[in-house]
Amino acid sequence: MTHPDPAAPDCPAVLLDPEHVDELRRLLGTVEDWLLHAGDEARDDLAAFLAGQAWSAAPPERLAAGLIADLGEHTVLLRRALTRALPAQETR
């Protein structure tokens, strides 16, 4: 379960099954790990792709680095949320 942003009180919470949250966390973490270990060519391709999608006005290399950082941050946030929701169970 994710909680709404306190800065946006009109935003409703989204309920997710804990198994789905854990699977999403593992998927995001796997993609982040792969990108961190990928070569420059793969990250350059990702950067060009994001720039082509008008992801933002930032330079392409910053777009790729930002996406990788966001994947890692969301992986941690999902793990924390899952741990709070199910303290007796361990996440992988």
pLDDT in tens, 9-37: 677 777 888 999 999 999 999 999 999 99
The answer to which of 5-9, 71-75, 84-88 has the lowest mean pLDDT is 5-9
pLDDT category at 8 given cuts 50, 70, 90 is: low
The mean pLDDT of 37-50, rounded to a whole number, is 94
Q: Would you say residue 30 lies in a domain?
A: no
* pTM (predicted TM-score): 0.76
Q: Would you say residue 13 lies in a domain?
A: no
The domain of 72 spans: 39-85
The mean pLDDT of 41-68, rounded to a whole number, is 91
Q: Would you say residue 73 lies in a domain?
A: yes
Q: Across the chain, what does the average pLDDT equal? A: 86
Q: Would you say residue 81 lies in a domain?
A: yes
Three-state secondary structure call for residue 2: strand
Nearest to 35 by CA among 5, 63, 3, 12: 63
User: Total structural domains in the chain?
Assistant: 1
Q: Would you say residue 54 lies in a domain?
A: yes
Quick check: 73 pLDDT over 60?
Answer: yes
Question: Cα(15)–Cα(44) distance, rounded to whole angstroms?
Answer: 36
Quick check: 6 pLDDT over 90?
Answer: no
Exposure letters 48-75 (e unless 16+ CB within 10 A, then b): eebbeeeeeeeebeebbbebbeebbeeb
Q: Would you say residue 22 lies in a domain?
A: no
